[in-house]
């Protein structure tokens, strides 16, 4: 955790802890009925985990659906238009008190419908909120009706951790990572951030291959087919795979797809499932903490906090997962500090 903590601005942490402290002991409002809308981008594990912990924390804070809270959940299934229409239907019956959006597509839909209104929006599980057009700058108050949390660990941290491992087994420079991604905004923003890093150093490069984003789960076969083409196209140019942010790598068999169709090891997985399937490493936000944190902020907003005054910052808690079988197979010795950080997330 040392590396992650140092990347966080002390001020931001203070602000976050201040809010956590402020609202930890506050109970939900008892009498008044609060209209809460949650939009979920697609039925993938990450989104579902975030939704689960969001609801749990709302309950912990005293909000009970059907009692003092009218909770509406819109499942977009990867379709932004659908999400927007559903939200507009809800709006016709009255303004919600707060709207939570899980992942980029849902956040864009909420923002598009509620932009300029006084309905507060809280987004999370969004890797690149600037690229998605939600906010102008990370780390400062938005001044509008929207705020939220960035999903990913800063790109520099992920790059450094990955390099610490792969540098043990290759002397070739630059180290080449293959990055097959969809046109989904988070994916595009992620590769853009990674390439910004490689522009400043010459010891690694990212060879990217972009495919068209299709709605999940209906469009999964199409995206997998395109991914295979990508594997074929760039596998001769790369040393390791790096899984993208966004829905493509969220799909359960994506890691398997990479392993089955190339003999190139997957170093950076998108999530814990990817590491379990054979990816060497993943560094992702703590889904339980992320969901609970979102609920705490929503509670604050419901009690009168101005979303325009809450800065958008990275999440406060992360997970590192390591696949020791992959490490031993690659003759990589995982440094003690990384192994210590992984804790129980070490898989064989």
Partner 1 sequence: MKLQVKIALSIIPLVLLGIFTLGAWSIENSKKSIHKASFLYMDTIINSYMVDVNKINNLLVKNGLDTIASFVAEYKQKALKEIKTLQIKKDSSIIVFNSSGEFVFCSNKNNNSELESIWGPISKRAGTNPNLESAFHLIEEEPHVLYVVRHFKPWNWIVFFSMSDQDVHHAETQIRNATMGIASVCSLLSILLILTISKKFFVAPISHLVKAASAITHGQSTNKIEVLSKDELGDLARNMETMSNAIQESQAKIKDVNINLEKIVEKRTSELVKTNQKLNQEIEDRKQAEKKIKESEELFRAVFEQAGGYCMILESSDSGIPTILDANEAACKDHGYSRDEIIGRPVADLDDDEGKRLCVERTQRIMTGEPFEIETDHVRKDGSSFPVAVYANMVTFENKPPLIVTTEFDISYKKEAEAEKKTLEKQLQHAQKLQSIGTLAGGIAHDFNNILYPIIGFTEISIQDLPANHPVQENLDDILQGAKRARDLVKQILAFSNQSDLEQKSLPLQPLIEETLKLLRSIIPSNIEIKKELIEEQIYIFANMTELHEVIMNLCTNAYHAMEEKGGVLQISLTKDQPGIEHNLRLGEYCCLGVKDTGSGISADIIDDIFDPYFTTKELGKGSGLGLSVIHGIVKSYKGTITVQSEVEKGTLVNVYIPISSEKNIVDDILVKPAKPTGNEKILFVDDEKPIVKLGVRLLQGLGYTVTGETSSKKALELFNSSPDEFDLVISDMTMPVFLGTDLAEKILNVRKDIPILLCTGFSERVDKKTAQSIGIKGYINKPILIEELAIKVRKLLDEARGE
| Region for residue 177 given its phi and psi (left: phi exceeds 0; alpha: psi -120 to 50; beta: otherwise) | beta
Minimum distance, C-beta of residue 295 to partner 1, in the bound complex (Å): 33
Q: Which is nearer to partner 1, 81 or 340 (CB)?
A: 340
| Residues 106, 46 contacting (CB under 8 angstroms) | no
- The owner of tokens 């804070």 is 61
Minimum distance, C-beta of residue 346 to partner 1, in the bound complex (Å): 5
Q: Which is nearer to partner 1, 200 or 348 (CB)?
A: 348
Size of the residue set binding partner 1 (CB under 8 A) = 10
Q: Which is nearer to partner 1, 210 or 345 (CB)?
A: 345
Q: Which is nearer to partner 1, 117 or 325 (CB)?
A: 325
Q: Which is nearer to partner 1, 145 or 323 (CB)?
A: 323
Q: Does 1 bind partner 1 (CB under 8 A)?
A: no
Site for partner 1 in 307-336 (CB under 8 A): 324, 328, 331, 333-336
Complete edge-to-edge strand list for the sheet that includes strand 240-242: 204-211, 175-182, 240-242, 266-269, 281-285, 318-323, 346-347
Dihedral of alpha carbons 188, 159, 291, 334, sign: positive
Using DSSP's 3-state secondary structure scheme, residue 35 falls into strand
Buried b (16+ CB within 10 A) or exposed e, 323-332: beebbeebeb
Q: Which is nearer to partner 1, 56 or 324 (CB)?
A: 324
As a dihedral over the C-alpha atoms of residue 40, residue 41, residue 46, residue 51, rounded to 10 degrees, the angle is 0
Q: Which is nearer to partner 1, 30 or 328 (CB)?
A: 328
- Choice from 32, 81, 203, 340 touching partner 1 (CB under 8 A): 340
Q: Which is nearer to partner 1, 157 or 346 (CB)?
A: 346
Minimum distance, C-beta of residue 170 to partner 1, in the bound complex (Å): 16
Q: Does 339 bind partner 1 (CB under 8 A)?
A: yes
- The owner of tokens 């990817």 is 274
| Residues 44, 250 contacting (CB under 8 angstroms) | yes
Minimum distance, C-beta of residue 348 to partner 1, in the bound complex (Å): 8
Minimum distance, C-beta of residue 99 to partner 1, in the bound complex (Å): 43
Q: What is the DSSP string of 142-195?
A: -SSSEEEEE-SPPHHHHHHHHHHHHTTT---SSEEEEEEEES-HHHHHHHHHHH
Minimum distance, C-beta of residue 108 to partner 1, in the bound complex (Å): 42
Minimum distance, C-beta of residue 259 to partner 1, in the bound complex (Å): 23
The C-alpha atoms of residue 310 and residue 207 are separated, in whole angstroms, by 37
Angle at alpha carbon of residue 86, lines to 82 and 90, rounded to 5°? 170
Minimum distance, C-beta of residue 276 to partner 1, in the bound complex (Å): 15
For partner 1, the binding residues (CB under 8 A) are: 324, 328, 331, 333-336, 339-340, 346
């Amino acid at each position: 955790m040392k590396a992650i903590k140092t990347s966080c601005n002390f001020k931001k942490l203070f602000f976050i802890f201040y809010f956590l402290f402020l609202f930890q002991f506050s109970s939900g409002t008892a009498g008044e009925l609060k209209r809460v809308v949650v939009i979920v981008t697609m039925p993938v594990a990450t989104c579902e985990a975030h939704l689960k912990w969001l609801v749990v924390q709302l309950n912990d804070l005293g909000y009970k659906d059907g009692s003092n809270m009218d909770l509406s959940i819109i499942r977009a299934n990867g379709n932004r238009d659908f999400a927007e229409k559903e939200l507009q239907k809800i709006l016709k019956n009255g303004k919600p008190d707060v709207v939570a959006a899980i992942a980029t597509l849902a956040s864009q839909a909420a923002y598009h419908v509620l932009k300029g209104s006084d309905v507060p929006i809280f987004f999370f599980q969004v890797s690149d909120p600037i690229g998605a057009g939600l906010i102008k700058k990370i780390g400062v108050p938005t001044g509008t009706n929207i705020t939220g949390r960035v999903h990913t660990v800063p790109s520099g941290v992920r790059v450094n951790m990955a390099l610490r491992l792969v540098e043990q087994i290759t002397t070739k420079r630059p180290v080449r990572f293959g990055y097959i991604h969809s046109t989904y905004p988070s994916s595009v923003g992620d590769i853009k951030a990674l390439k910004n890093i490689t522009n400043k150093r010459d010891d690694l490069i990212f060879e990217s291959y972009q495919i068209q984003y299709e709605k999940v789960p209906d469009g999964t076969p199409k995206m997998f087919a395109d991914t295979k083409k990508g594997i074929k196209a760039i596998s001769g140019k790369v040393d390791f795979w790096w899984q993208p942010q966004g829905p493509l790598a969220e799909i359960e068999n994506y890691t398997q797809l990479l392993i089955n169709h190339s003999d190139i090891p997957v170093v950076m997985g998108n999530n814990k499932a990817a590491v379990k399937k054979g990816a060497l490493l993943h560094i992702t936000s703590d889904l339980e903490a992320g969901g609970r944190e979102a609920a705490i902020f929503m509670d604050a907003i419901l009690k009168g906090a101005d979303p325009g005054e809450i800065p958008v910052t990275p999440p406060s808690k992360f997970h590192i997962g390591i696949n020791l079988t992959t490490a031993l197979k690659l003759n990589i010795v995982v440094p003690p500090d990384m192994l210590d950080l992984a804790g129980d997330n070490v898989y064989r």
